[in-house]
Amino acid sequence: MSEPRKIRVLVTGATGFLGRNILAAIGAHPAIEPVAACRDPSRLPRSFAGMVRAGDLLDAEYRRDLMKDVDVVCHAGTWASMWSHRRLESIRFFEPARDLIAQAVTQGVRRFVMASTVAIGEVTRDGTPHDDCSSKRYTGFWPHLDYLIDLDDYMQENSHRGTRMVTLRLGHFVGAGNRLGVLPALVPRLKTYLVPWLAGGRKHLPLTADVDLGRAFALAAVADDLDDYESFNICGPEFPTLRTVVTHIARRTGAPKPRYSVPYPVGYAFGRLMEASHRILPGSSPFLTRSIVHLCEDWICPSDYARKKLGYRPRKDWRTAVDEHLADLKAEGYPWPRLCQP
pLDDT digits (tens, 9 = 90+) for 156-170: 999 999 999 999 999
| CB distance 97 to 152 below 8 Å | no
Instruction: Check whether 4 has a pLDDT greater than 80.
Output: no
Q: What is the pLDDT of residue 198?
A: 97
Higher pLDDT, 37 or 281: 37
CA angle, 30 then 35 then 40, to 5°: 140
Q: What is the pLDDT of residue 212?
A: 98
Q: What is the pLDDT of residue 3?
A: 66
Q: What is the pLDDT of residue 134?
A: 86
Higher pLDDT, 97 or 182: 97
pLDDT band at 125 (very low <50, low <70, confident <90, very high): confident
pLDDT digits (tens, 9 = 90+) for 180-236: 889 999 999 999 999 999 999 999 999 999 999 999 999 999 999 999 999 999 999
| Separation between Cα atoms, residue 38 and residue 331, nearest integer Å | 26
Q: What is the pLDDT of residue 73?
A: 98
Torsional sign, CA 81, 105, 108, 56: negative
pLDDT digits (tens, 9 = 90+) for 279-295: 665 566 899 999 999 99
DSSP 280: G
Instruction: Check whether 52 has a pLDDT greater than 90.
Output: yes
Q: What is the pLDDT of residue 341?
A: 85
What average pLDDT does the segment 96-101 reach?
98
Per DSSP, the residues of 81-106 read BSS--HHHHIIIIIHHHHHHHHHHHH
Q: What is the pLDDT of residue 155?
A: 98
Tell me what the pLDDT averaged over the chain comes to.
95
Kindly list the structural domains of the chain, giving each domain's residue range(s) and its CATH number in brackets, ordered by start.
7-330 (3.40.50.720)
Instruction: Check whether 330 has a pLDDT greater than 80.
Output: yes
pLDDT band at 139 (very low <50, low <70, confident <90, very high): very high
